[in-house]
Structure 1
């Protein structure tokens, strides 16, 4: 293992990673995507190579995902059967994706790994983040509640298809669907998780829009899938020497506190707020990664060489945008939690007063 893959940890970096872990955990508990779309770019902003950031992220993910899944299972939000079924095919995707990561690292070095991860982030964030944000705005304008959350035409079609010998009943959708639909979704989730450590980008939306799982249960069930993927992915990457256990443990320490707060927040907010948080953070992080792509292209001699001061400037801008993403994510979740608790307290008070008058 090349020692250059591991950054020096000073007090500032450790504190930054703890804060990043807390926010990532809070977002993870709230939207079920693992929070890695915050954590991976944040580590890369500190100079951690892409493959090491992905590997270390997956290492910290599975214990955190287990905690979040257990927490939200108490609220009846987890479809364990669906999580395990999709997790099985997701594991295959993780192993294949890890092989791709290792091949790129060996062929092009850290710059190639960084470019691969960053480009993947920008593309996925633009597509998924834009779609989720548009859907959240649509739900908000319609005034839909959790019970009124409508199934799309694709989900209705999937639930109507009958393939003998493959039908399985899933509590979250209260219907039987063919596991043949879950296999490609799970594989794609695992492949993306091994690429950028964020399988939830595909896992959560696919459960919502393809299978018809309510957003609250989709975000919770994704934690089960993340646990399964995290175990296999950690073993695979650790075998190649790409897991920095220091980073994983520091981030995990912050995440375990944040994930409880995020999970509690889901019980007080409307479904569209989960999508709002996901969409806002995705789009913000997109710009953070986009700013440093020219740096990696220059290092690989794919464009004209850049001056050191220009590369430093782009890296600083990327870090600044990343910090903004952290602040936005934490701010929205905390505000939604405070507002939801306030409304719940007010409704409880009104109900108690009505009972007292009766």
Structure 2
């Protein structure tokens, strides 16, 4: 029931300290490409500024209902397109035996010698700086629109730049911290951050960051894509059910109060299901990996020197 702009602003404010904790944790595991994160964060910060300007205009022109409609429509479009492709790619990788291959587009772009060329050692990528800029810009723009720029940043680093899913998801935390800090200051100046809502979300998410960082050391990379794709598709359905309310408030369409109430409840329930499904997939994969590790550790080691 929170207005779209307030939800986006408060979520961005809670995300940057959480991202800092997650980035540090995963940096210790060697999963973060700090150089790539900082390069993309620079253009992402510009995207955040543009996105906030767009939100300000929509709020002045159409009010809270227009802002909520804008956020919901962007959510549905982005999540269906990106989530569908990520899920399909994860399915192909799983059928091929779990090995993650660099996309055809990434291999093509890496062959283009367009100065300045930049090498990102942790990601194992050498590519023109110019190809990182639009991904960062789109990540920031989306973060200021729906507060989840990672839905563009992570797939962009994987399919356009050629980073692995593990490195991309970890490096996105660096981007989220930098652009979230700047974006939160901008949102606060126009009075859109609900600090109580921010603190409540932050309290719950810090535990999730710790579990996520540990989980990525055990979960296979194609499984990360399956989780991403699954959550995106389910959340898209949730946001689709939230669209009738602002349409009615703007007078574009006329839905009955009973239908609007049903849509709101269904949207909330589906959102909870999305979070639960993602958590169960990750925790289940962690359990299987840990159990397999214990089995391998318990197996006797034979000295074949004298055999």
TM-score, normalising length: structure 1: 0.83
Corresponding residue number in structure 2 for 1:214: 164
Q: How does 1:148-227 map to 2 (within 5 A)?
A: 149-164=100-115, 166-227=116-177
Aligned match of 1:143 in 97, 114, 126? 97
Flag the structure with more relative contact order, 1 or 2, with Cα contacts below 8 A and sequence separation at least 6. Answer: 1
| Alignment-derived partner of residue 105 in structure 1 | 59
CA shift for structure 1 position 356: 7.7
In the alignment, which residue of structure 2 is the partner of 1:121? 75
255 and 144 in structure 1: CA distance in 2 versus 1, 3 angstrom threshold: same
Please give the TM-score of this superposition, normalised by the length of structure 2. Answer: 0.96
Instruction: Return the offset for 1:175.
Output: 4.1
| Whole-angstrom CA distance in 2 between matches of 1:50 and 1:357 | 66
Aligned to 1:246: 196
Among 215, 238, 260, the alignment partner of 1:311 is 260
The aligned residue for residue 354 of structure 1 is 301
The answer for unaligned runs of 5 or more in structure 2 is none
CA deviation after TM superposition for structure 1 residue 307, in Å: 2.2
Q: Secondary structure at the match of 2:209?
A: helix
Q: CA deviation at 1:345?
A: 1.5
Partner of 1:302: 252
Rate the CA distance shift 1:72–1:355 in 2: closer, same or farther, 3 A. Answer: farther
Give the CA RMSD over aligned residues.
Answer: 1.3
Q: Is the 8 A contact 1:60 1:252 kept in 2?
A: yes
Is it true that 1:87 corresponds to 2:41 in the alignment? yes
Q: CA deviation at 1:162?
A: 1.0
Does structure 2 retain, via aligned residues, the 8 Å contact 1:268–1:344? Answer: no
Distance in structure 1 (CA, Å) of the matches to 2:262 and 2:205: 30
Once the two structures are TM-superposed, the CA of residue 357 in structure 1 deviates from its matched residue by 8.8
Deviating 4+ runs (over 4 angstroms) = 355-358
Q: For the structure 1 residues 254 and 357, does the alpha-carbon distance in structure 2 shift closer, same or farther, using more than 3 Å as the test? A: farther
Please give the residue correspondences for 1:337-348 in structure 2 after superposition, counting only pairs within 5 Å: 337-348=286-297
- Aligned residue pairs total 305
| 2:118 aligned counterpart, secondary structure | strand
User: What are the ranges of 5 or more consecutive residues in structure 1 without an aligned counterpart?
Assistant: 1-46
Aligned residue for 1:332? 281
- Deviation per CA, 1:210-257: give whole Å up to 9, x if none: 111011101100100010110111011111000001111111111111
Counterpart of 1:16? Answer: none
Which of 258, 270, 283 pairs up with 1:321? 270
Deviations 1:320-339 (A, max 9, x none): 11121122122112111111
Partner of 1:66: 20
SS at match of 2:255: coil
How far did 1:168 drift?
1.4
Residue 185 of structure 1 and its aligned partner are, at CA, apart by 0.9
- SS at structure 2 position matched to 1:354: coil
